[in-house]
């Protein structure tokens, strides 16, 4: 048993290393038009800064906080982005989702890569809720807004044979205590975008689903509590809290997966291992071992 685990560990590191050697970032991002939704902080900001160094033709950054986008725009221009456009948008608004795409087409005439990174978290067990409204808010942001934006981008992506990169989560593959709305939204993203990938194969559209564990961002502190308000300071007691990844490493992993057209990527290693293990031993056994569920 231990030999199999050791072999799997070595094989995974070797695969990751070799894959990195074939990642042509300049070819993937250079002189391309890239949209990043949810770009005003955290992972979205880091993705914008790392992509900027490969000199994209156009970089459209969309988020609710325009002042933060102004700061990031200046940083991206200093790092080498040829043109940066910022746009105030809330993806819970269907018209804002459509506008993100329309503004990009008007400005750059095409779309090559769409990063769907906007999202909110929720940390509350269902028995603590007195109203389902917080669940609805998570669904509208993490699922409906993401789907709407991708839908409006499809005509342009079919022309460019483009790429959609969706920030899911390890909790889009397995359950987590107190994360019902978040898990549900992320699980649904996999159902939708896996189907989209199959349907759009004939149009050569790539779809990558990104499943990280905990990333060191403020999303945890802005998570909704049982009362629908931001918790302010979230104690990271969930399953993957101890595997927390820095924003820089997480963004680099996402860009590598994008540059090599991976279908799905889970990181770090222990998160990837847990996700694969659940698939092997089955959800009943896995959930019983971790949570004592029956």
Catalytic residues: 182
**Side-chain half-sphere CA neighbours of 281 within 13 A:** 13
At 108 the three-state DSSP class reads: helix
Antiparallel, parallel or unpaired: β 206-212 and 264-267: parallel
Q: Work out the angle between the directed axes of helices 269-281 and 2-21 (0-180°, nearest 10).
A: 130
H helix or E strand, kind and range, residue 176:
none
Q: What is the DSSP letter of 170?
A: G
Kindly provide the residue ranges of all beta strands, DSSP E only, lying in 153-231, ordered along the sequence: 163-167, 206-212
Number of neighbouring beta carbons within 10 Å of residue 293: 12
Number of neighbouring beta carbons within 10 Å of residue 163: 22
Kindly provide the residue ranges of all beta strands, DSSP E only, lying in the chain, ordered along the sequence: 33-37, 58-63, 84-88, 113-116, 163-167, 206-212, 264-267
- Residue pair 56/47 in contact (Cβ under 8 Å)? The answer is no
Q: How far apart are the first and last CA of the chain?
A: 26
For residues 254 and 240, what is the distance between their CA atoms, to the nearest angstrom? Answer: 18
Q: What are phi and psi of 191, to 5 degrees?
A: -60, -45
């Amino acid at each position: 048993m231990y030999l199999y685990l050791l072999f799997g560990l070595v094989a995974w590191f070797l695969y990751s290393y070799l894959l990195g050697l074939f990642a042509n970032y300049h070819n993937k991002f250079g002189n391309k038009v890239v949209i990043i939704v949810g770009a005003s902080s955290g992972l979205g900001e880091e993705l914008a800064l790392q992509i900027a160094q490969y000199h994209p033709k156009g970089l459209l950054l969309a988020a609710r906080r325009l002042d933060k986008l102004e700061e990031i725009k200046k940083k991206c221009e200093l790092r080498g982005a040829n043109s940066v456009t910022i746009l105030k948008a809330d993806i819970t608004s269907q018209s804002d989702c459509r506008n993100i795409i329309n503004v990009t087409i008007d400005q750059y005439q095409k779309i090559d890569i769409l990063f769907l990174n906007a999202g909110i978290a929720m940390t509350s067990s269902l028995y603590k809720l007195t109203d389902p409204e917080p669940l609805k808010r998570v669904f509208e942001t993490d699922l409906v807004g993401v789907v709407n934006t991708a839908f409006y981008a499809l005509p342009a992506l079919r022309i460019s044979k483009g790429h959609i990169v969706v920030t899911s989560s390890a909790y889009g593959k397995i359950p987590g205590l107190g994360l019902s709305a978040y898990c549900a939204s992320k699980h649904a993203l996999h159902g939708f975008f896996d189907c989209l990938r199959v349907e759009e194969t004939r149009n050569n559209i790539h779809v990558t689903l990104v499943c990280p564990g905990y990333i060191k961002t403020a999303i945890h502190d802005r998570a909704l509590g049982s009362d629908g308000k931001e918790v302010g300071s979230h104690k990271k007691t969930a399953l993957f809290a101890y595997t927390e990844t820095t924003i820089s490493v997480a963004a680099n992993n996402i860009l590598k997966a994008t540059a090599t057209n991976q279908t799905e990527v889970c990181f770090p290693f222990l998160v990837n291992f847990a996700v694969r293990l659940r698939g092997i031993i089955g959800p009943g056994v896995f959930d019983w071992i971790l949570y004592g569920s029956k």
